[in-house]
């Protein structure tokens, strides 16, 4: 039996809420979960004893982590695989560049500035390498191969919040950019190669859940999952539901654990317990 530990940000909620469905499909896999709020995950790491340690900001953080996970930290020893959920590897920063820049060798859309492909490619590669180093730094003492699943691509419906949410404005502009595919592919390919060069893996979002470049189909953002097995009170376009979690876990099982499903995939009735995401 393959044994994996999933550590990450609030986005672990989508995976955790899919646990029962996943167990039916992949009974040979044993998964455990440890989820914390984003800043705590991104600044946490494995200590010399092999435990993932959370840098609590206050007692509320500590209480939330203990209530959600049953402990303040988690041992990583004894697991065949470690799946880390929640990094973004700076893509939104690259998308933001295209709000004010056209690509010199590409289509002109009237942006006030231009940037050459050579310069933009160098920026993408340099910054992506920095984010990979940052992501790996806290896990140097694991001693095994890591698999990274990024925070979900925002739902394409996030454009409903244009004018009130900067991320919505950035992505709306990016998705309208004729050269967006080149930027996305340049980043994704370099990210995959940068992790592979260190002996680690990137778990891509399956095409079936995507709604274009760096976008998730809106149906996966409905009744988004929380870390305490409930659902968000309203759609925030960034957190996803158990059906998304099942799609990601299935991709992990098949590409990293070498398993095949033992039955037909089903969708999940969403629970109604609410939690506010900080």
Return the CATH number at 40: 3.40.50
| Alpha carbons 99 and 78: distance in angstroms, whole number | 46
- Tell me if 180 sits within 8 A of 213, measured CB to CB: yes
For residue 20, give every residue at least 6 positions away whose Cβ sits within 8 Å of its Cβ, in sequence order, or none. none
Instruction: Give the pLDDT score at 228.
Output: 87
Q: Has residue 185 been placed in a domain?
A: yes
Position 4 scores a pLDDT of 96
pLDDT at 207: 97
Residue 264 resides in a domain:
no
Q: Would 250 be classed as within a structural domain?
A: yes
Q: At 15, give phi and psi (nearest 5°).
A: -70, -45
Cα separation of 96 and 93, whole Å? 5
Sheet holding 81-85, edge to edge: 29-35, 2-8, 81-85, 146-149, 201-203
Angle between helices 117-137 and 180-197 (to 10 degrees): 40
For 193, the domain range is 2-89+125-155+181-255
Q: Do 154 and 161 meet the contact criterion of CB atoms below 8 Å apart?
A: no
Rounded Cα–Cα distance for residues 191 and 205 (Å): 14
Q: What is the pLDDT of residues 182-237, one digit of tens each?
A: 999 999 999 999 999 999 999 999 999 999 999 999 999 999 999 987 888 788 99
What the block records as the tokens of 143 is: 């001693």
Residue 146, domain member (yes or no): yes
- Asked if 240 contacts 216 with a C-beta cutoff of 8 angstroms, the reply is yes
165: in domain: no
- Tell me if 96 is assigned to some domain: no
Low pLDDT (below 70) residues in the chain: 264-278
Sign of CA dihedral 153, 223, 209, 12: positive
The model's pTM is: 0.92
Strands (E), the chain: 2-8, 29-35, 45-46, 51-53, 74-75, 81-85, 101-103, 113-115, 146-149, 201-203
Residue 268 falls inside a structural domain: no
Residue 94 is assigned to a structural domain of this protein: no
d(CA 7, CA 217): 24
Q: How many domains does the chain have?
A: 1
Residue with token string 């940068």: 194
Q: What was the pLDDT predicted at 2?
A: 86
Question: H or E element: which one contains 255?
Answer: helix 242-255
């Amino acid at each position: 039996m393959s044994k994996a530990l999933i550590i990450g940000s609030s986005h672990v909620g989508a995976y955790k809420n899919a646990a029962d469905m996943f167990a039916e499909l992949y009974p040979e896999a044993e998964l455990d979960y440890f989820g914390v709020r984003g800043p705590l995950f991104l600044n946490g790491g494995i200590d010399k004893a092999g435990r993932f340690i959370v840098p609590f900001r206050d007692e509320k953080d500590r209480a939330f982590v203990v209530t959600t996970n049953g402990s303040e930290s988690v041992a990583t020893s004894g697991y065949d695989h470690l799946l880390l959920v929640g990094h973004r590897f700076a893509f939104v920063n690259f998308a933001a560049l295209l709000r004010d820049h056209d690509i010199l060798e590409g289509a002109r859309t009237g942006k006030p500035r231009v940037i050459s492909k050579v310069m933009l490619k160098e920026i993408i590669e340099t910054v992506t390498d920095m984010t990979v180093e940052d992501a790996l730094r806290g896990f140097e003492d694991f001693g095994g191969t890591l698999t990274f699943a990024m925070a979900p691509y925002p739902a394409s419906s996030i454009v409903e919040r244009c004018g009130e949410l900067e991320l919505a404005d950035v992505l709306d502009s990016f998705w309208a950019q004729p050269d967006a595919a080149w930027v996305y592919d340049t980043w994704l390919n370099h990210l995959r190669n940068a992790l592979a060069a260190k002996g680690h893996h990137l778990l891509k979002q399956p095409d079936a859940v995507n709604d274009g470049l760096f976008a998730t189909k809106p149906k996966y953002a409905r009744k988004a999952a929380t870390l305490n097995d409930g659902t968000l009170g309203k759609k925030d376009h960034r957190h996803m539901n158990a059906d998304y979690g099942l799609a990601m876990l299935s991709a992990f099982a098949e590409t990293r654990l070498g398993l095949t499903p033992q039955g037909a995939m089903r969708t999940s009735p969403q629970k109604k317990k609410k939690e506010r995401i900080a």
